[in-house]
Amino acid sequence: MGDGMMNKNVRIVVVAAICVLSGPLLPGFAAGSLPTLHGLTAEAGSSGPVIHLRTDHALETVHYSPQPGVWIVEMPEASWETGTATLSEPSLGIERAELSLVDEFGKRVTRLTVWLDGPSQLQLANVSDGMDLVFSSFGDTSDADEIQAKLSPDERWVAYASDLSGRLEVYVQPFPNLGATIRVSPNGGQEPLWSPSGDRLYYRSITGRRVFAVDVLDEEPLRFGREELLFEGDFTTGIRWGRKWDIHPDGDRFLMLRVDYPAAPEGIRVVANWFGELERLVPSND
């Protein structure tokens, strides 16, 4: 099954999973002229990536993480020039950052969503020409976990995820006599799956949004080809001790779980004298 055939024939079976967010209320945004956002840039910080949002206004913000590796920063409604609303820096661990306008509790607000290649902490810092989003990884990685093991169809190799490097990556070792370790994923990975024929290894990005494949080029010694992005979408993140996706025995279809965020409620209806209204509609027998 060649790369071209995989790209044309791969089909995804998606199961929707609804995620309801509960978090802090949005701040009260002052009325006035719209702030202008002048774009997104990124650089490496001392403990992780830093995204710089340039603006000509001081911004009130709230921020939260709906799932590991994803951060959302919300601020007053703003304007920006076409082509300045997105950013992607995989080498820094930033899969994608994107500005959008959304309605929240009857207000129009700007949302900056950031997808990272792994769970991170976030601190916001006001600077002279805008705001910095400073990300940092969690904790000490001296005691690495090795999780999500999956044997190859011929049971000669075991693929697994490990946080040895400080983030989850996909590795392969011989089995059952464990030997030299081969790191397969160049920029983070988890939940490895072998193709039914054993000639390909699939895995997901740490956020779960992207699915990658690498070909097995040789077995003696074992060598893999370059990473190939197969598809991406709003799929749920993985679970540390298992997996939330699978491959069909025909090797052409995948079962995924998708996150559907419900629309914010338009308002709250308050009913006064509710018991009197209930008695009128459903009289008691007394």
What integer is the mean pLDDT of 105-115? 89
Higher pLDDT residue, 15 or 169? Answer: 169
The dotted CATH code for 3-14+141-260 is 2.120.10.30
pLDDT score at 4? 41
What integer is the mean pLDDT of 102-129? 86
Spans of all domains in the chain: 3-14+141-260, 24-136
Higher pLDDT residue, 216 or 10? Answer: 216
Higher pLDDT residue, 125 or 22? Answer: 125
Highest mean pLDDT among 9-13, 48-52, 276-280: 48-52
pLDDT score at 23? 36
pLDDT score at 286? 61
Distance of CA 56 to the CA centre of its chain: 30
Higher pLDDT residue, 14 or 65? Answer: 65
What integer is the mean pLDDT of 86-110? 89
The chain-wide mean pLDDT, for the chain, equals 80
Q: Would you say residue 12 has pLDDT above 60? A: no
> Looking at domain 24-136, which CATH architecture does it have?
Sandwich (2.60)
CATH topology match: 3-14+141-260 vs 24-136: no
What integer is the mean pLDDT of 146-174? 89
HSE-up of residue 69 (Cα within 13 Å, Cβ side): 26
Per-residue pLDDT of 239-272, as tens digits, reads 777 788 999 998 889 999 887 767 777 778 887 8
- The amino acid at residue 148 is Q
Q: Would you say residue 150 has pLDDT above 70? A: yes
